[in-house]
Structures are given as C-alpha cells and as structure tokens.
Structure 1
C-alpha cells in the first residue's frame, strides 16, 4: 500500500469548482504530457522537480496531487516533494487512466488553459480578424497599415510577416499610439497561431483605441498555408513611449482592469497578502527582462505580461492562488491583470509605487533546495579525461540545447530516464555529468551515483564553462541515450512543420470551446 493518500477525479473537480487552491502535477516529460492531460494540470517533469517546484508551488501547505501514466514516476515525485517539505501530497487515483475512466476530459498540446480561453474570447466577443490573403493585399497595395507581432522577440526573429514590428502582447496598448499615431491606420496583430493574435487584438479593442484593429487569422501558420512568404531574422522593435501617450494608455488600461474586476493593492496591502499563510500569492513583474534587471520590487519574478497570459500554467501552477502584478507605467500590469481576472484568477495590481520601490537589481534567482555538491572537475581536466578510454560524459541539458551544441562525445540523457540511458551507454570506468550551468547535473549526479559502481563527477560550471574555455563543440543528435521526449514539437514554432500538422493544430484550436464546455471547471468569462 502506498505511503501517500489517493485523490480522486471527483475530489479534484470539486476543488476546482469551489476555486480552492490545488496543484495537479503531471511529472512526465513535456512530449507525453502534450499527448493527454487534464485542463489544469501543470507539467513539472520529475527530471526538473527540485529546480522548478519552489517557484511554481511556493506554499508548502498547498494540496499537491501527482500523477503519471503508469511509468512509475508519480511515487518518486511524491517522495521528493515530501522530502522538499510539502505537507499535503497525494497521488491521483488511477493516474491519467483513472482520470479518463472517471469521465474527466483530457486535452492535448501545451498551455491549454490560455489557448482555450483565447478561443472562448473570440467566440463570445467576435474578435475581428483578417485572412492572410486580405492582409497580403493590403501590404501589396501599400495601404496605411501596421503589423504588430505579439510574440516574444526571439519568436518574431525566427519568422515574421513582411514589415511586421515586434510588440510583445503586454506592450501593445502601451506602444500602439507610437507605432500607429494616425487613427486611420489599420492595425493588424499577429502571432504564430491564434491565441496571442486574438488576445492582443481584443486588448486593443477593449482599451478603446481609435484605430481599426484585426487579428491576422491563424497567424504565421495561416500565412504559410496561404502560400505566402515570411521574413526571417528581422530586428524591427517598438521604441520608447512619450509621456502623454503613456498617460493615455494608462487611463485606458485602468478602465479595462476595473471592468474585469481587478483588485487594487498598496505596498502595505501587498505585504498583507504575502503574509497570509493560508493562501498562495504570486508576485510577477510584467515588464521586459531588461527593465526588470535595471530595478524591480524585491521578491518579484519577471514574467512579461504577454507570455504570462499565454503560459499562466507554467509559472502559476496552483489553481485558485492569488496573483499580484506590478509595473512602473500603469499599463502592462493592468492589461495583463484584466485577462487573468477573466481567466478565473484572483488578481491584483499594486498602485502608488515610487521609483525607489524598484530597489533590487539583477536577474531573478529561482528558489532552490540545498544543491548537491558532488565531486567536480574543471573543463581542462575533462578535456584530458576524454582523450583517454573509459570516460563517459552525460549531458542533461534540454535536447534542443544539446542538438545546437555540445561537448564532443557527450551522450544526451533525461535525468528521470537514467535506467534506460545506462542500457545504451558504453562501458565506463568513470562518469562525468554536465548541463548548461551544472545545476541540474548536480542533482543528476546523485541519481547516477546510486546506480553505478564507478566514480561520478560533475563538470564545474557545466557546458558554459567548456564554451568559455574556448574548447571544441559539436552539434546534432550524435549520441542520444534516450528519445527526445523532453519537449513537445509545436506545429507553430518554425516553417518546416508539415502542412497537415499546421492544419491539424488549427482544427484542434477551433474545437477547444466545445472541450471547455465538456470539462466545466474553468470559470472563464469575457468582458
């Protein structure tokens, strides 16, 4: 009998309907997670549990329910969670199959709550959109039109609509007057698929800007399916916003937030929320990463607002928790909060912060448990060992990073799949483990040392130290010890996805509203 209690589908459904705090964790890798999962399941793979969970589930008293699909990962995850201090850990009765057998709805893909919400918004608000052919005709006619790309800048650089400008989603209301100062200019908002196009367009509509606004229907996928050409490697970005434009945008955003029911907090009110031991409170800074590093509120985490709305489950993994947003302009926090409120979150914006409140500088440091300190070697020492027989190097970075570049001869593996990986590795006299920074490798080294008799060492500073030393690298899938299941290949990420996969993805998105109705736990609304 398991040392952990079981929670049923019916119990979890009741918690979701009552809006009580609960975290439902799928501890498989992202690719199998994307094949089937409950709507509000958060994917924290067992491989990365220790380095992600404290940020994503910050309150140790949170009810946490763990599941897999029969792989044997859930019990290990529950044990680790208990060792990390979580006090209310249970296993999902029957795992994923039990959820399905009890009548629970299952969803495919990733970031499904946000994508389903975007479809519901379009369904209820009739968000205006134009087909790819219509937008191409406007561009060919040199019409008075501006195309704003609502994705992250790196996504925009990968592929973009000709002439498009990068304006990540939360920036749209703040920047649109600078980019389209003439009210007669047609504004087109695009992303790769549908969600950020729809939410971005509806943000501008909700804010009441004077311009005509439309989403590019089906984003860059629709553009490619129409046989039209995309640009690559573009650098066009929004510029600074003048104070009169900022003030007007702030007034518009505040009205939208008030209409959505966003709460207001002072600095003391924020402190009171954070001191409430019985509730989880996330504090997110929704500005750009560079702005955050230049000065931010102590204890806040940088999550640019457009990505927060798109990937809420990835950072706020406790459904029913409270979310507090902060910025320094009165626009991005209010617009992002307006969407989170409509997605069923209890959300607030902090008002009245003076410039000196943004007193902390530098990058965000995730909260971590004690990091293991196994024996380590330098890059130079590893180079010498690799010249000798008997050294097996294991790389636990993401498969995408490994394929891009890795130490010659390194075998890629997933930490939670060490048993399978060892079956595919050559005989070793010693093992060395690495990842990008050595953080994940330090946890993996302990797991490996429990399975092998040979010495296990960590590359100090990880592959980054090897690169900094100017040592050689190789690329490609040269030594995969296990299949690349750590990341689901999104049909909208690049231009090389099969047309059938792109169309199937769009068809799936069109069906999300019906799936939401069958699931019935979402509490979504539109204003």
Structure 2
C-alpha cells in the first residue's frame, strides 16, 4: 500500500521556522535551477542523488520534511523515495515554489544564502572595517607592514589569490593570526572571493580582540578583478604550525566570544544523552582541518572545517532547528565557529575536555547507504571494452551518471551524460539500445538507477564494476570535452566568484545582489539572526 503523502502550506513552513521547530525544506531540483530561486532556508537535494545524500544529511528519520519543485514533476517521486528510505514525516509543499511565491514568500538567488545574508547583516550592524582593492594594492606596492590572509578553502585560494596572500581558512584565523602577524602594528587584511568570508573572518578577529588593525578586502577577489588588478594563480603559501603559547593566548579569547554568543558547553557523556533523544536531530562536526581529521577524529563526528561550516550551513545542516555539536583540539576553532552559528539562530554546543587520545579513528567517516533495488548485474571494464569494439553502434550504450563537470573532464568513449532525475526523458532522445551499461565515477550512484532503467526500457541493464575510475585504471582510452550530452548541464550552478574567466557583468551583478540581502532578510523575517 502506497503511504499517504500530505501537503503543507507556506504558512505551515513559516510558523515552524519562526517557532524554531525542526524542519527540512527540501528542493529536489538540480543545483542551477535551485540557485535561480528558492526560499531562504531551503536545502538542495537533487532528486537523482537522494539515496546518496539523505541519510547523512538528515540523520533522524522522523524529521519533518517538506519537499518541493517548480512544477517539473520531481517532488512527488522524490518524496516517495524518502518514504522508502524510512522517513516517516514527509509532505509536499502545497503548489510548490509557485505556491510559495503566490503566498507572499520571499525568494532568494544563489547558493549558501543563509550564510551570505547573515554576513551582510553583520557588516551592516557592526560596520566591519574594510579597504578597497585599490587601497590594498597601494599598501602592497608600498611594501607596507601588512599581511593578506585568504579565508577560503585551499583549493579556491590556489585557483586565484591576491598577490602575497596566505591561505588561512576562516576558522583558523583567530588561532593563527598572531603567529602570522606577531607585531601588533601589522595590518591584517582578510579576503575571500566575494564578501561573506572576508566579513566574517575580519569580524572574528575584531570580536576576539586581536590587537592588530584588521580590515576586510572589500568585495574580495571580485573587487580586485573589477579594479583591473592582476590575481596570482597556483600559489601554495599556507599557515604554519603555532607555538603552544600562541594557542593558549587565543583559546580564552575565543571562549569569551562563544560565551557572549550563548554557546553551550558539552561533555563526552552528553553525547549519549543527545543520541537518545528521538525527537531531536544532533549534528556532530569536527571543525579542524581535513588533514587533522583524517589523521585522527572522534567516533561519529564528520569533517566540517569551521569556516566552511559557517559558510555552508544549508549543506552541512539542512534541518533548521537542529542541535549542532562542535569539537576541535585547541579550544579556539570550535568556539569561534560556534559563536557565529549561535548568532545565526542555531542551538550550538562545544564539546570540552576531550583528551587528544580520544581522536582515535582515522580516515574518512564511513558512509552508511541504503541497499539498491536489486539484483544488480555487473560488467567488468574489459568485457565492456569488448562489447563496444565488437557490437554495432547503439547495440551497447553507456550512460554516464557522473556530474557534468566530471563527464566533460573525461568519460568512456561514446558514453552519454544523463542526469538521473531525467532518465525517463533522456532515453526517449536516443534510439533504444539492446543493452545499457550505467556508470559514474565509481558506480555508486549508477547502482540506484539500474532497476529504474530496466523498467523503463525492458532490455538488459548492467552496472560497470568500479565505474569510470576502474575503466581509467585499466588503461582504456578516454574521451574528453562536452560530447554526448543527453541532459543539460544544470547540475552545477556557475558561481560568479569562482574561476578566472567570469564576465564583468556577472561579477558586478553578484555584488549588487549581495548588497540587497539585508532588505530581503527583513522582508522574509524568518531568519532569527542576532548579531553580537
């Protein structure tokens, strides 16, 4: 018997947000259409990836879930999938995104919007100090006593950075600033690609009482490019280890900020109590660097470097109203990250008094995934290569369910890029094959599409063992570029602040959008942000 699938209205969702009740508002479109328009606290769960994402991102199966699309017909199927995965409180948003708009709901663009809007609110209320690109370049040209700290992830920093900039991801700033600028007269300039992480990083140093003069690079690397100034590419300058004296000086500063923000304190025994609360969702986050996490972490905690956690709350914690527990090994990074999350309306705790020996698990946190509908028939790379070489064209067709970016980077010759959420439409755009082979990077996602494709076509469907990675490791030839695209490349939103070839109009438009976020927050009025 098919479970009942109720609907919830805009007002139902709004009231839950205002009451700070747990709720996950789930947009099941691909990332690009999601980024064009969505409610403030919506989380993007592309329909074709739900089996891979749901259990880790929404760990409590009784969490209230409200699912929507924009009329594409994805929401009901996705909601049924969530029910099959064990979620017991699943509803559709009445009339989807169009209904949200008609009811007067505010709609936002871009991704990671709660954090970006919060950053703009911080600057508007705290008047976070900043310098223009021209002012910063003049200081660098004069060889003034300044240090530029880049608050983004290291891979973003390597793509492009301010000349002389050092990679210090956001949560590391208070811990490491005095080691990088030991003289209190040295001006610290914090940058990111746009605005948010520059603002939050700069204000972190101000809130912690760092003695140095501190400024954000206004508008980040976008502002630098719009000023006609050259960016450096491929830089590898990173923060270095700090002395125990510097850590012990930073820890009480961070603790004071966390206490002012209302961050709660947890002991190891509290985790068992949290886990026993069947009516609450608890996320466990290790905010140290990915390298530290891999070398040793606490059981059950996932890696979420603090700066990115604050930047991407909609990705890391899609259940609004959930409890967050943060841990580090120094008393600085967790407290500073928690201080911002508390100001963003989260119930956030910092786990104290953990001996270093407690960080006993190594490697990535093992993912727990649902069992695919089966049985699944597998094919080896060698057998697939023989089929493709010997059979007539279109006898054996390979469908690539990897991201479009990975497909363009490399794919099996002749493989067609298909969005799993578009599988039914995609097979009608090509002649029906006598045999289909599904692949993706490692065939993890491909497994979940096999039974569906078999029902749609009525022919043999196999999954490539080890995916395209195994094909590549076996030494078989690869194809490159935007070839064989059955589905549009809408699975990835092109961010105006990424890369080095964005049009000026797109970059300026992005900044103009950010400047308007405070007014949008006021109109929305569900955010619950409280700036220190």
Q: TM-score range by the shorter chain?
A: over 0.9
Q: Counterpart of 1:138?
A: 139
Alpha-carbon distance in structure 1 between the residues aligned to 2:4 and 2:111 = 31
Q: Counterpart of 1:401?
A: 406
- Listed as ranges, the matches of 1:423-462 within 5 Å are 423-462=428-467
Shift in alpha-carbon separation, 1:324–1:237, aligned structure 2, 3 A: same
Moved more, 273-282 or 118-127: 273-282
- Secondary structure, counterpart of 2:445 in structure 1: helix
Q: Counterpart of 2:104?
A: 103
1:386 aligns with 2:388: yes
Alpha-carbon distance in structure 2 between the residues aligned to 1:305 and 1:371 = 34
Q: Counterpart of 1:508?
A: 513
Q: Counterpart of 2:332?
A: 331
Q: Counterpart of 1:256?
A: 257
Normalised to the residue count of structure 1, the TM-score between the two structures is 0.98
1:221 aligns with 2:222: yes
- Listed as ranges, the matches of 1:22-421 within 5 Å are 22-372=23-373, 374-387=376-389, 388-389=391-392, 390-421=395-426
Alpha-carbon distance in structure 2 between the residues aligned to 1:455 and 1:223 = 55
Q: Counterpart of 1:490?
A: 495
**Structure 2: gaps (5+ residues):** none
Alpha-carbon distance in structure 2 between the residues aligned to 1:362 and 1:29 = 30
Alpha-carbon distance in structure 1 between the residues aligned to 2:32 and 2:356 = 43
Alpha-carbon distance in structure 2 between the residues aligned to 1:500 and 1:2 = 49
Alpha-carbon distance in structure 1 between the residues aligned to 2:85 and 2:121 = 38
Alpha-carbon distance in structure 2 between the residues aligned to 1:166 and 1:445 = 43
Shift, 1:426, TM fit: 4.0
Alpha-carbon distance in structure 2 between the residues aligned to 1:213 and 1:346 = 29
- Secondary structure, counterpart of 1:156 in structure 2: helix
Cα deviation code 1:310-367 (max 9, x no counterpart): 0011010100000000111111111110000000000000000012211111112222
- Structure 1 ranges of 4+ moved more than 4 A: none
Question: Is the 8 Å Cα contact of residues 253 and 335 (structure 1) preserved in structure 2?
Answer: yes
Alpha-carbon distance in structure 1 between the residues aligned to 2:30 and 2:432 = 27
Cα deviation code 1:17-36 (max 9, x no counterpart): 00000111000101110111
Alpha-carbon distance in structure 1 between the residues aligned to 2:531 and 2:430 = 53
**Structure 1: gaps (5+ residues):** none
Q: Counterpart of 1:471?
A: 476
Alpha-carbon distance in structure 2 between the residues aligned to 1:170 and 1:470 = 41
Question: Is the 8 Å Cα contact of residues 392 and 426 (structure 1) preserved in structure 2?
Answer: no
Moved more, 446-455 or 76-85: 446-455
Moved more, 339-348 or 416-425: 416-425
Question: Is the 8 Å Cα contact of residues 405 and 473 (structure 1) preserved in structure 2?
Answer: yes
Alpha-carbon distance in structure 2 between the residues aligned to 1:274 and 1:249 = 31
